């Protein structure tokens, strides 16, 4: 047997025997293709048995086969280079599972749009379960098995904080839309970017609006004992106090609490309350809102206090809470009454695909993909290029608002925060405060 080495950038090996030749083409450490065995007939040229010598016809055929396979391998590699691989860390199970369901809807709609433009985007979803350990495990699965160019998610701050060092070590950028903890961007990581305003930006804004627009003088803080819950409540309290307000009660609770009757009774006993900023996921949020109304504390229970909420609550919360949600003012990342053509087109496309109105979770997931597509359009082709392109983003306009990253990779634009008030018929009134 004789081996012919074909001089190319990629290594190739032709093994020839009496029955024919076999070709392997290698690029880097991966075998790209194993060519089929070619059988040469005596019509090409008669050759001695044993394969000690090979005729010109056989060698020409082998070289031709090598050239063909190398060309095909080159095309395959070029095609692979055009594919942008996105990893998605979404809570598909657990208390934040509604995030994952709605995130995926927004992502799929965006992928349909960007893939029509030419560059191929692919995605792999992993269940991060809104918790540090499952999120870390999911991130490692993505890195080991899928090898993404960029990762989007998580929604819960504790989960996001857990995966940040994992992705940074792998030098894969993380684009986050929903987590609020200040620790995500301060000190942050050169590989993590956040679209939404952080807990400080949100807390200051909500407290300022409560004081100046609602003329609130007293408040009770209700929050889950997580990084995001504690952080958001503290910023609101500090800002509200500096503006002359008084914090009547500061109440934290674990995610295992299911009955909020005693907490509502405690809140009712503190005196006149103007606002109750509440930082919870949907399940506990519903129970808290209903308990406060039953205790006669909030407007929904014929009381005077106004609940203030965050983007943690999905669209449809009001319908589930019923009358208890009356007067609830909360921030969302998407204003369905926005008159921009970009927003109208998004709503129309979403309705056509899913036969329902989009939520703010649908919208911010959609914007994550569209921002990545914008970076790729500007020339990014791999993880490093996407990271650099995100860092250079100063004027992206999405359906949720605009994006301009500072030196900590934090979006400094506040027009992604939209205030909505729940009316008696459980519809929303856009307050236009930002």
Q: Which helix (H) or strand (E) holds 229?
A: helix 227-242
Buried b (16+ CB within 10 A) or exposed e, 383-402: bebbbebbbebeebbbbbbb
CA diameter of the chain: 105
- Tens of pLDDT, residue by residue, the chain (434 residues): 433 333 333 344 444 444 444 444 443 333 333 333 333 333 333 334 444 444 445 444 444 444 444 444 444 333 445 899 999 999 999 888 999 999 999 999 999 999 988 789 999 999 999 999 999 999 999 999 999 999 999 999 999 999 999 999 999 999 999 898 999 999 999 999 999 999 899 999 999 999 999 999 999 999 999 988 999 999 999 999 999 999 999 999 999 999 999 999 999 999 999 999 999 999 999 999 999 999 999 999 999 999 999 888 888 899 999 999 999 999 988 998 899 999 999 999 999 999 999 999 999 999 999 999 999 999 999 999 999 999 999 999 999 999 999 999 999 999 999 999 999 999 999 998 87
Helix H segments across 249-340? 261-268, 282-294, 317-321
Kindly report the CATH number that applies to the domain delimited by 200-332+419-430: 3.40.50.2300
Q: Residue ranges per domain, the chain? A: 2-80, 83-196+339-403, 200-332+419-430
Q: Which residues are CB-contacts of 340 (< 8 A; sequence separation ≥ 6)?
A: none
Q: Where are the beta strands (DSSP E) in 57-128?
A: 83-90, 120-127
Output the pLDDT for position 315. Answer: 83
pLDDT, residue 9, reads: 39
Question: In angstroms, rounded to a whole number, what is the distance separating the alpha carbons of residues 397 and 400?
Answer: 8
| Residues 65, 255: Cα–Cα separation, whole Å | 64
User: Which residue pairs from 268-271 have beta carbons closer than 8 angstroms and sit at least 24 positions apart in sequence?
Assistant: 268/295, 268/296, 268/297, 270/220, 271/218
Q: With contact defined as beta carbons under 8 Å apart, do 19 and 51 qualify? A: no
Contact 220, 274 (CB under 8 A): no
Which pLDDT score is estimated for 171? 98
Q: Which helix (H) or strand (E) holds 177?
A: none
- Provide the strand spans (E) within 344-417: 396-397, 402-403
CA dihedral sign of residues 85, 117, 415, 382: positive
User: Rounded to whole angstroms, how far apart are CA atoms 69 and 278?
Assistant: 63
420 forms beta bridges with 330, 430
pTM of the model: 0.73
Strand partners, 430: 420
Strand ranges of the sheet holding 150-153, from the earlier edge strand across to the other edge: 120-127, 83-90, 150-153, 174-176, 192-194
Question: Which of 173, 176, 186, 161 is CA-nearest to residue 403?
Answer: 176
Strand order in 2-5's β-sheet?
2-5, 11-17, 20-27, 30-34
- For 83-196+339-403, the fitting CATH number among 3.50.50.60, 3.40.720.10, 3.40.50.2300, 3.10.620.30 is 3.40.50.2300
Structure tokens at 270: 């503190």
**pLDDT (0 to 100) of residue 351:** 98
- 83-196+339-403 and 200-332+419-430 agree in CATH topology: yes
């Amino acid at each position: 047997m004789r081996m012919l080495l074909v001089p190319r950038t990629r290594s190739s090996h032709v093994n020839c025997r009496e029955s024919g030749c076999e070709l392997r083409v290698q690029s880097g450490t991966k075998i790209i293709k194993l060519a089929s065995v070619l059988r040469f007939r005596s019509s090409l040229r008669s050759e001695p048995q044993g394969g000690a010598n090979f005729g010109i016809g056989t060698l020409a055929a082998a070289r031709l086969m090598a050239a063909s396979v190398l060309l095909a391998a080159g095309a395959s590699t070029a095609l692979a280079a055009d594919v942008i691989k996105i990893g998605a860390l979404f809570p598909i199970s657990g208390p934040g599972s509604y995030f994952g369901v709605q995130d995926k809807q927004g992502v799929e709609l965006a992928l349909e749009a960007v893939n029509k433009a030419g560059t191929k985007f692919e995605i792999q979803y992993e269940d991060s379960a809104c918790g540090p350990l499952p999120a870390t495990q999911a991130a490692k699965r993505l890195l080991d098995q899928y090898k993404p160019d960029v990762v989007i998610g998580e929604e819960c701050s504790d989960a996001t904080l857990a995966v940040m060092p994992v992705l940074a070590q792998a030098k894969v950028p993380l684009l986050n839309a929903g987590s609020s903890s200040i620790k995500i961007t301060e000190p942050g990581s050169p590989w993590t970017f956040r679209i939404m305003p952080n807990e400080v930006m949100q807390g200051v804004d909500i407290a300022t609006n409560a004081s100046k627009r609602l003329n609130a003088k007293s408040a009770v803080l209700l929050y889950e004992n997580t990084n995001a819950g504690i952080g958001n409540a503290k910023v609101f309290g500090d800002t509200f106090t500096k503006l002359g307000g008084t914090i009547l009660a500061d109440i934290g609770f674990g995610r295992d609490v299911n009955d909020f009757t005693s907490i509502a009774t405690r809140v009712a006993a503190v005196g006149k309350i103007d606002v109750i900023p509440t930082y919870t996921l949907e399940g506990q949020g519903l129970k808290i809102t209903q308990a406060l109304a039953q205790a006669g504390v909030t407007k929904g229970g014929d009381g005077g206090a106004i609940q203030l909420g965050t983007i943690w609550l999905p669209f449809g919360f009001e319908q589930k809470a019923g009358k208890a949600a009356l007067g609830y003012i909360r921030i969302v990342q998407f204003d369905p009454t926005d008159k921009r053509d970009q927003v109208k087109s998004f709503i129309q496309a979403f309705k056509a695909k899913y036969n329902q109105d989009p939520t703010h979770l649908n919208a911010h997931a959609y914007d994550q993909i569209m921002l990545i597509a914008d970076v790729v359009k500007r020339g990014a082709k791999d993880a490093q290029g996407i990271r650099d392109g995100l860092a250079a983003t100063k004027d992206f306009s999405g359906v949720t608002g605009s994006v301009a990253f500072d030196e900590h990779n934090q979006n400094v634009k506040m027009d992604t925060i939209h205030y909505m008030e729940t009316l008696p018929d459980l519809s929303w009134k856009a307050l236009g405060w930002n």
